[in-house]
């Protein structure tokens, strides 16, 4: 509770700062690069968000069974997981812009392939390629932002940047439903392609040439992978990110089903329910990032993890729609407090290791594995027990991830004594 009251002062300071000098809200000296990366992620993730919720419907129209729908989503996570360390590592050595360009071009081509795909096997392959494109974009862009972030502003800068992802994740599915209802499925695919092409254009025009990046990276030594993956503090960040994303996977996969079967909610109410947690977490990114630069980041992660653990568990006891609203809001608040601190610690670690891309890729691997395994394990709990037991599984994930975060940090400090 002391941490809750301690957050109030930096948040009020942030509000005063924005009101006094809105033009200086971006902390980096490279404001043009920051804005370009912000809008690249915003347009790209919005485009993907438009399509992803419609893919099960599209697959069903092609005659997909449940296993095929699972394979369509799993193929994306598999290629992304295996290729993330490769592209993150290469971007440390060869520069960021080529990989961002290649990833955005892949997204644009994938949108065309979706329009012409007529088989389930084709959809699985397209999603596999899309996962490779994502592996080239997400960790590399985050590493780029981390590099241009001034020391002492890691939480605020990454919280501001995270807005691009959280807002686009909220906006994309809503846009996808409207486009599908008013136009067609193909129109949704075309919109994804246009938004990816817009991100590609922004990258080409506004990001500095590779020669400028190389001049910034030329003094960096090649850090062995063993020094990255055996770092206990990085293990703490990976554990928490994995657990939190596993809970998001559970909410996205099982909360709509739970709300429909137990409460008979309409599609619009279910959609609002799923979007609310992301939106709440998104609007907290900036103030909590600002607070993370002034408070103990590790305590913020633990505090946020405890709140998220309660939020993911409460649907088990829900008796109404409003109980579900409260639980997803609580989960979003926990993530809003913890995630800016997590990304700030990742930036600090990447700068310490002189391997920003490698560190960000490892964190994103944890994200992918969390989405993949969280929903799978919760699904097994649903099959062996009942649907509502998916949510205690989420609490176990979140609680274990938070405890692992504490253990790895404490072990790291004990080993240095």
Per-residue pLDDT reduced to its tens digit, 146-169: 888 887 777 788 888 888 887 887
d(CA 85, CA 81): 8
Structure tokens at 244: 């939190």
d(CA 397, CA 262): 24
Buried/exposed 254-265: b ≥16 CB within 10 Å, e otherwise: bbbebbeeebeb
d(CA 142, CA 87): 13
Query: What pLDDT was estimated at residue 77?
Result: 77
Question: DSSP per residue over 288-308, as a string?
Answer: HHHHHTTS-HHHHHHHHHHHH
Residue spans of the domains in the chain: they are 28-220, 223-417
Instruction: Return the biggest CA–CA distance within the chain.
Output: 64
- 368 membership: H or E segment, kind and range: helix 356-384
Query: What pLDDT was estimated at residue 192?
Result: 85
CATH number assigned to the domain covering 28-220: 1.20.1250.20
Residue pair 303/341 in contact (Cβ under 8 Å)? The answer is no
CA 66 to chain centre: 25
Helix segments in 52-119, DSSP class H: 55-61, 66-94, 97-116
Q: Mind listing the pLDDT tens digit of every residue in the chain (417 residues)?
A: 455 445 555 555 555 554 455 456 666 667 778 888 888 888 888 877 777 666 766 776 777 665 666 677 778 878 888 888 888 778 877 788 888 899 999 988 988 888 888 788 888 888 889 888 888 888 888 888 888 888 777 778 888 888 888 788 777 777 777 777 788 778 888 888 888 888 888 888 888 877 666 545 555 556 666 666 677 888 899 999 999 988 887 887 777 777 777 787 765 677 677 778 888 888 898 888 888 888 889 999 999 999 999 999 998 898 888 999 999 999 999 999 999 899 889 888 887 877 777 788 888 888 878 877 776 776 677 667 677 788 888 899 999 999 999 998 876 555 554
Task: Report whether CATH 3.40.50.12780 matches the domain 223-417.
Answer: no
Cβ-based neighbour number of residue 204 at 10 Å: 12
**Global pTM value:** 0.77
Query: What pLDDT was estimated at residue 19?
Result: 44
Residue pair 290/159 in contact (Cβ under 8 Å)? The answer is yes
264: left (phi over 0), alpha (psi -120 to 50) or beta: left
Cβ-based neighbour number of residue 99 at 10 Å: 23
Topology alike, domains 28-220 and 223-417? yes
């Amino acid at each position: 509770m002391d941490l809750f009251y301690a957050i109030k002062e930096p948040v009020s300071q942030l509000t005063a700062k924005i009101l006094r000098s809105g033009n200086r809200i971006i902390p980096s000296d490279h404001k043009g690069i920051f804005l370009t990366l912000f809008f690249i992620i915003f347009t790209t993730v919005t485009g993907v968000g438009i399509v992803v919720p419609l893919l099960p419907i599209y697959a069903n129209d092609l005659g997909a069974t449940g296993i095929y729908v699972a394979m369509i989503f799993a193929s994306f996570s598999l290629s992304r997981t295996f290729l993330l360390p490769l592209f993150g590592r290469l971007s440390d050595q060869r520069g960021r812009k080529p990989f961002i360009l290649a990833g955005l071009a892949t997204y644009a081509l994938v949108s065309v392939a979706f329009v012409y795909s007529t088989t389930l096997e084709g959809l699985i392959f397209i999603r596999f390629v899309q996962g490779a494109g994502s592996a080239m974009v997400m960790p590399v862009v985050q590493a780029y932002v981390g590099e241009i972030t001034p020391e002492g502003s890691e939480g605020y800068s990454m919280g501001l940047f995270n807005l691009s992802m959280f807002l686009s994740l909220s906006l994309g599915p809503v846009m996808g439903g409207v486009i599908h209802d008013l136009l067609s499925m193909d129109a949704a695919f075309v919109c994804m392609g246009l938004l990816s092409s817009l991100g590609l254009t922004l990258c080409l025009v506004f990001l500095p040439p590779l020669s400028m990046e190389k001049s910034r990276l030329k003094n960096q030594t090649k850090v062995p992978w063993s020094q990255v993956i055996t770092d206990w503090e990085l293990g703490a960040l990976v554990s928490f990110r994995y657990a939190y994303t596993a809970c998001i996977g559970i909410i996205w996969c099982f909360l709509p089903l739970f709300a429909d079967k137990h409460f008979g909610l309409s599609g619009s109410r279910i959609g609002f329910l799923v979007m609310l947690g992301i939106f709440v977490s998104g609007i907290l990114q900036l103030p909590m990032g600002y607070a993370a630069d002034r408070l103990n980041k590790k305590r913020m992660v633990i505090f946020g993890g405890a709140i998220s653990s309660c939020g993911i568990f409460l649907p088990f006891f829900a008796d109404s729609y409003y109980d579900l609203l409260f639980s997803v809001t609580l989960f979003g608040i926990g993530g809003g407090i913890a995630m800016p601190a997590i990304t700030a610690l990742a930036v600090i670690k990447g700068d310490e290791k002189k391997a920003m891309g490698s560190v960000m890729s490892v964190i994103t691997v944890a994200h992918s594995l969390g989405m993949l395994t969280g929903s799978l394990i919760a699904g097994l709990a649903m099959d062996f027990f009942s649907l509502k037991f998916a949510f205690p599984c989420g609490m176990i994930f979140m609680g274990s991830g938070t405890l692992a975060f504490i253990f790895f940090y404490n072990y790291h400090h004990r080993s240095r004594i």
